Amino acid sequence: MSGLILHHYDFSNYSEKVRVALGYKSLEWSSVIVPPVAPKPDLTALTGGYRRAPVLQIGADLYCDTRLILRELERRYPQPSLFPSGQTGIANAVAAWAEGPLFRSVMLYAWGTNHDLMPQELFEDRARMRGLPVPSVKSVERAAARSAPLVRTQMPFIEDMLADGRRWICGTNVTVADLAVFHAMWFLTDRSPRLSHEFDRFERLREWMLRMKGFGHGRSQTMTAGAAIEIARASSPSAPRASVLQPEDPELGSLVEVRAADYARDAIAGTLVLVDDDELAVSLRGGRAGDIVAHFPRIGFELRESP
């Protein structure tokens, strides 16, 4: 086996983004299913408190957030590439739109339409995660009604991106833009076909979705969370690459806190071992998973010295 362990769950769209990347790169991996709601004691034992899905584990290194997971997969398995030069800047900009305004509208529309198919605890957990009151069924339905027109105004952008007959969003190569747009669109109909009519007007988008689905998910075998924790305990984290610090950054070796800038802002506290333009990494010692290093992307995370 490759040593890649993905902590994920089935209806997690960000997990789907990584599963498709694993398929695109034809990789073998071990699959650990995490609960979709907190508490997630096995996952947080590995990550030092990060609860979101997915997380990629390689031995005692834990890669959090899909932006960094895709970078790390590329570093280890460069071919076929997801970061072709000359297309990566645009791809990142498209991904930021797809995972921002597009996905937000899709999520509210899909959840509000399918709320009867989802456990109530999911709504309670997500409200707690964002520090908001638990929404009533009426307010979830109203949010769906407000979001439907926004989905319909943004889906034509994707059809337009593909209008010249290109196979992939940035042209001749698959990029992170394809993955980001794909998982947002996948979420529209993953739970039920109730919103499949929204694709009727978009022939190129439908064909592109089929090409994306054609990558599959690579080859996986199931693993328990306990076995993944044992693997972390029995491994040593990889030696950090050389850092490239900005003048404002805390020194390497400082005690720091890293937290997501948007939601699920639990602090991950540890010793700073790596900082560069792409990544922040902290070492966490002596927990249930032994000595591990948790890695985060620079963009989307805040770094500060521990108080």
Where on the chain is the footprint of ligand GSH (CB under 6 A)? 12-14, 36, 51-53, 65-67, 264, 300
Helix (H) or strand (E) holding 283: strand 279-287
Q: Are 19 and 13 in contact (CB under 8 A)?
A: no
Q: How far is the CB of 252 from ligand GSH (least distance, A)?
A: 25
Question: 110 vs 162, which CB is nearer to ligand GSH?
Answer: 110
Question: 8 vs 25, which CB is nearer to ligand GSH?
Answer: 8
Q: How far is the CB of 283 from ligand GSH (least distance, A)?
A: 21
Which residue of the chain is nearest ligand GSH when measured via CB? Answer: 52
Q: How far is the CB of 126 from ligand GSH (least distance, A)?
A: 7
Q: How far is the CB of 51 from ligand GSH (least distance, A)?
A: 5
- 3-state percent breakdown (helix, strand, coil) of the chain, nearest 5: 45, 20, 35
Question: 162 vs 225, which CB is nearer to ligand GSH?
Answer: 225
Contacts of 111 by beta carbon, 8 Å cutoff, 6+ apart: 118, 140, 143, 144
* Encoded tokens for 36: 């979709």
Question: 202 vs 301, which CB is nearer to ligand GSH?
Answer: 301
Give the residue among 184, 213, 186 at the shortest CA–CA distance from 98: 184
Q: How far is the CB of 266 from ligand GSH (least distance, A)?
A: 10
Which regions of 78-233 does DSSP assign to beta strands (E)? Answer: 219-222
Question: 39 vs 78, which CB is nearer to ligand GSH?
Answer: 39
Q: Are 30 and 57 in contact (CB under 8 A)?
A: no
Dihedral of alpha carbons 26, 28, 29, 31, sign: positive
Give the residue among 254, 262, 266 at the shortest CA–CA distance from 300: 262
Contacts of 21 by beta carbon, 8 Å cutoff, 6+ apart: 69, 70, 73, 82, 179
Q: How far is the CB of 236 from ligand GSH (least distance, A)?
A: 25
Question: 128 vs 142, which CB is nearer to ligand GSH?
Answer: 128
